[in-house]
Amino acid sequence: MNFLFLNSGKCAAASNMALDEALLENVSRFGKPVLRFYGWAEPAATFGYFQKYSEVENATLLRPLIRRPTGGGIVPHDADWTYSFVVPPDHEWHLLKAEESYRRIHEWIQNAFARLKIETDLAPCCKRSLAGRCFEGHEKFDLLWRGKKIAGAAQRRNRLGLLIQGSIQPPPVSISRADWENAMLAVARAKCSIVWSEFWPDAKLREQADEFVRKKFSQAAYICKR
């Protein structure tokens, strides 16, 4: 199987969400899943599409606040490792139930940490979080390190494809983000015979992402819509 990977580096918060949504809109044109690694040009927090803005703004001091195109809770982006995984509608990942695709993405991350000699576990059940903060509790199949959640994700599945947006709050051990990213690629190559090709956004994708920044993710009408 052939997958694409993109390392975007550090981008503005609105640009990060816009590019993920643009990838979802265009992934059927690429015909292959895309794994994207990215960071944040400034501290920020994203929150789930269905959350109420008035509750979110009182639950975190991080700014800016950006509503994600996916569900889930409040995610701090001040020291995390962020990724997205986008799948076209004719790919087998798109046919999975939400719980199964959630489990599978975290098993992938678990195997990447194992490759780096870090033992983690998938959460067997839920633990409620306070005020919708993603990393203060955990959901079934979240990734735990010594009982604490270190990886969570949110999903959006529609006729265009599947978008998974995930965050790693790295454990305090001596590995770098680059180590983890390389392990993610290596695990997929070893366990699933994935052939990786580096991907760069073309003009159409860049233009759509820029439009999403201007008309959606930088607009209070969208961020505060609920």
Is residue 127 predicted with pLDDT exceeding 80?
no
On the 0-12 / 13-18 / 19+ scale of CB atoms within 10 A, 72 is buried
Q: What is the pLDDT of residue 196?
A: 98
CATH topology (fold) of 2-223: BirA Bifunctional Protein; domain 2 (3.30.930)
Q: How confident is the model at residue 25 (pLDDT cuts 50, 70, 90)?
A: very high
Mean pLDDT (the chain) is 95
Q: How confident is the model at residue 125 (pLDDT cuts 50, 70, 90)?
A: confident
Enter the pTM of the model.
0.95
Q: How confident is the model at residue 131 (pLDDT cuts 50, 70, 90)?
A: low
Cis ω on the peptide bond leading into residue 43 (within 30° of 0)? no
* Region 160-167 average pLDDT: 98
Q: How confident is the model at residue 133 (pLDDT cuts 50, 70, 90)?
A: low
Q: How confident is the model at residue 129 (pLDDT cuts 50, 70, 90)?
A: low
- Per-residue DSSP letters for 74-108? BEEESS-EEEEEEE-TTSHHHHS-HHHHHHHHHHH
Q: Greater confidence, 125 or 193?
A: 193
Q: What is the pLDDT of residue 130?
A: 60
Q: What is the pLDDT of residue 136?
A: 67
Is residue 158 predicted with pLDDT exceeding 90?
yes
Q: What is the pLDDT of residue 105?
A: 98
Least confident residue range of 85-99, 101-115, 133-147, 202-216 = 133-147
On the 0-12 / 13-18 / 19+ scale of CB atoms within 10 A, 103 is middle
Q: What is the pLDDT of residue 170?
A: 94
Q: What percent of the chain has pLDDT over 90?
A: 91
8 A C-beta contact, residue 201 and residue 8: no
Q: Annotated catalytic sites, by residue?
A: 134
DSSP H stretches of helix in 34-174: 53-59, 92-95, 98-115
CA 146 to chain centre: 22
Q: What percent of the chain has pLDDT over 70?
A: 95
Whole-number Cα distances in Å, 143 to 39, 94, 146, 185, 218:
20, 22, 10, 18, 31
Q: What is the pLDDT of residue 135?
A: 67
Q: What is the pLDDT of residue 27?
A: 98
